[in-house]
Amino acid sequence: MEFLERLEQHAGHLTNTEKKISEFVMANQRETLRANIAELAKLSGTSRSAVLRFAQKLGYSGFSEFRYDFSIFVHAGRTARRESTGQIQLLASYYEAAIKKIADYVSESQLTEIAERISRAGRVKIFGLNRNSYSAQQLRHHLHTLNFDAEAVWDTVLVRDLSAAARPGDVHIYFSVNGATPIVRDAIQSSAQQGADTILITMHKGSPMEAYATHLVLLPSTALITTDYFLDQQAINFIFIEILIVYLGKALALEEREHQEE
């Protein structure tokens, strides 16, 4: 359920103070987005406890969850509740919010380091099972457009065989949303034991695969934005791949210049 639907559903049960907060946030959306709970209380002429009660009455666990959902509402340019025929903009706004969070999860230095490691790799293998195979193939395709050789691996037998055939200087990239599949967990362990650099791209902090990753990329899950709809996690992987390719292109260009100067 989106913010405005919550507000309309609970409007008749708000106290006068809570109505005051409601009127303020709707009339001053940008100020609300920039404010913490203490600042919003001061701006609306209420108290921290009143703001918290307002958020909880709308069904949020706390102020942070309220403000995050409110930010989606504001960035989508909403002024009235969507009818059932207006779902396209709603779904697009959810994906937009998840994509914007990538910058909060991945740093410039991290991307630069990973791109440089891939550019200097002896061999690159990209592993992904089930839906993650789409991400593996997407990255392989983009690497090929840069004239960079890489192999996408999604067959379970080849996942086991090629991870075991790793050697120092190789880079093995793993796409795994939560690390719950035993085959891919065993594979990254095998890659690490054979001396390959392992890059894990996941959305699950504390994944059992982390112990074998030399580079960890933690991406935002669409479940952080909403659980009212099934939003495919691979869309976030695809956007990350597009970003990574930009950094890799720079790394490859730098290497080429260095070789020309030698």
Specify the pLDDT at position 68. 83
Burial class from Cβ neighbours inside 10 Å (0-12, 13-18, 19+) for residue 119 reads buried
Determine the pLDDT at residue 36.
93
- Where the chain has pLDDT below 70, the residues are 1, 75-86, 227-228, 260-262
* Distance in angstroms (rounded) separating the CA atoms of residues 41 and 8: 21
Question: What pLDDT digit, counting tens, does each position of 104-163 carry?
Answer: 899 999 999 999 999 999 899 999 999 999 999 999 999 999 888 999 999 999 999 999
Whole-number pLDDT of residue 1: 56
Question: What DSSP line would sit under 125-161, residue for residue?
Answer: EEE--TTHHHHHHHHHHHHHHTT---EEE-SHHHHHH
The pLDDT of residue 228:
66
Instruction: Decide if 195 contacts 168 (C-beta within 8 A).
Output: yes
The predicted structure's pLDDT at residue 262: 61
Identify the pLDDT of residue 118: 95
Closest-CA residue to 35 (of 1, 59, 70, 81):
70
pLDDT of residue 71: 82
| 3-class secondary-structure state, position 122 | coil
* Helix, strand, coil % in the chain, rounded to nearest 5: 60, 10, 30
Domains of the chain with bracketed CATH: 3-81 (1.10.10.10), 104-261 (3.40.50.10490)
| pTM for the whole structure | 0.69
Question: Which pair of tokens denotes residue 135?
Answer: 């991400």
Q: What is the pLDDT of residue 76?
A: 62
Question: Which residues have a Cβ under 8 Å from the Cβ of 241 and sit 6 or more positions away?
Answer: 135, 138, 139, 142
